[in-house]
Amino acid sequence: MPSIFTRIIDGEIPGRFLWKDDRCVSFLDVRPLAPGHALVIPRVEVDEWTDLPADTAAHLMTVAHTVGRAQKKVLAPARIGLMIAGFEVPHVHVHVVPMDSMAALDFAQANPTPDPAELDALQDRIVAALDRHRAG
């Protein structure tokens, strides 16, 4: 059975995409740890990041870096945090989290009901920053 991430990637479940290429995607988390919290996910369904081919793992980090720079421009947090935990969904995903303290990485603090309009607005702002980055 495909993971929930594969179902989002395949369009079966809606997602607020920030990035799509032939190797990975990035979209906003539906239970954000902070506004703008994004996931970077390989298209190939692999459970543990240590089982990814090294070039795929490196590509995920490159995309996470690019998304993080856009988040930094749009949201101006103190830091952009990264985390790979892998317990929630058996499909590798890198959390890219705008944060002002370490407390932002506490999953107990995730927002289970974010405002859809706020998520839409954040998606638009981050995608615009990514488009400016791609344009040079």
Do 74 and 125 meet the contact criterion of CB atoms below 8 Å apart? Answer: yes
Active site residues: 93
Helix (H) or strand (E) holding 4: helix 4-9
Beta-carbon neighbour count of residue 136 at 10 Å? Answer: 4
The Cα–Cα gap between 128 and 104 comes to 24
